[in-house]
């Protein structure tokens, strides 16, 4: 799980050099990128690279590196904020302005092996909304994005990683797959397709930490997802 790939030193960013180092490590370790619809298949060293929020730097900084190593990825976009900025973070003390992908950027991403998923309509936390509002976040974002890409949107990323049983059930009615911010590697027998855990990729990962991220199966660290602000 990545967010922004940038040298802006924001706490959501992995620097361009560190990103390339990590991708190169994954490449030389023999990982192969797959799509969510192959998640249950028996593939050797499968990998799904995800980006939350739809930052423009995913296209400018991450995509050329991913192409270099022949990796695909998926970017989770906020449908109301296409071509705008990360306003949901504006009141944070450590806020850094970041531009988001435009409609045209999304098309360029698609043409270059980056798939698109929904990160909701407005990046509101689903646990703070009533049923009707949750349904709007889930369904309107799906329709808007499907109209842009001219194809099905099948994957959802819970804004802030916040999930309740109700929101997970509603997401499950519209999408085949949904990713959380729970820290773990995916295990078909253990995890549901509408609550897929992810491995957090941070800026400062030395080779040992990278090795551990890949080799350790379950981290299952309990933490307050809202505080982490993913
Ligand atoms: Zn987000």
Domain locations in the chain as residue ranges: 4-215
Expressed in angstroms and rounded, the spacing between residue 230 Cα and the centre of ligand 1 is 5
In this structure, how many other beta carbons lie within 10 angstroms of the beta carbon of residue 126? 22
Q: What is the DSSP letter of 159?
A: G
For 54, residues 6+ apart whose C-beta sits below 8 A from its C-beta are 75, 76, 77, 78, 81, 82, 100, 101, 106, 119
| pLDDT tens sequence across 52-89 | 999 999 999 999 999 999 999 999 999 999 999 999 99
Expressed in angstroms and rounded, the spacing between residue 124 Cα and the centre of ligand 1 is 9
Expressed in angstroms and rounded, the spacing between residue 216 Cα and the centre of ligand 1 is 25
Domain 4-215: CATH architecture, name and number where available: Alpha-Beta Barrel (3.20)
Calpha distance 121→80 (Å, rounded): 5
Expressed in angstroms and rounded, the spacing between residue 34 Cα and the centre of ligand 1 is 22
pLDDT bin (cut points 50, 70, 90) of residue 35 is very high
Q: Which two tokens stand for residue 200?
A: 């957090």
The stretches of 150-197 forming alpha helices (DSSP H) are 165-174
Q: What is the pTM of this model?
A: 0.92
């Amino acid at each position: 799980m990545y967010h922004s790939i940038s040298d802006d030193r924001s706490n959501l960013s992995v620097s361009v050099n560190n990103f390339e180092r990590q991708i190169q490590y994954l490449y030389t370790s023999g990982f192969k990128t797959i799509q969510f619809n192959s998640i249950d298949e028996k593939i050797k060293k499968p990998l799904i690279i995800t980006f939350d929020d739809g930052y423009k730097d995913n296209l400018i900084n991450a995509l050329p590196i991913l192409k270099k190593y022949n990796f695909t990825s998926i970017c989770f976009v906020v449908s109301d904020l296409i071509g705008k900025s990360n306003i949901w973070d504006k009141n944070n003390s450590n806020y850094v302005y970041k531009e988001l992908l435009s409609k045209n950027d999304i098309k360029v991403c698609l043409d270059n092996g980056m798939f698109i998923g929904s990160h909701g309509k407005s990046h509101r936390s689903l646990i703070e909304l009533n049923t009707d509002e949750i349904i709007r976040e889930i369904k309107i974002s799906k329709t808007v994005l499907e109209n842009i890409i001219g194809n099905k949107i099948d994957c959802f990323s819970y804004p802030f990683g916040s999930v309740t049983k109700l929101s997970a059930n509603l997401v499950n009615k519209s999408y085949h797959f949904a990713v959380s911010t729970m820290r773990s590697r995916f295990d078909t027998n253990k995890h549901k397709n509408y609550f897929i855990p992810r491995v957090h990729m941070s800026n400062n990962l030395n080779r040992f930490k990278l090795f551990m991220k890949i080799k350790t199966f379950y981290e299952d660290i309990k933490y307050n997802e809202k505080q982490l602000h993913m």
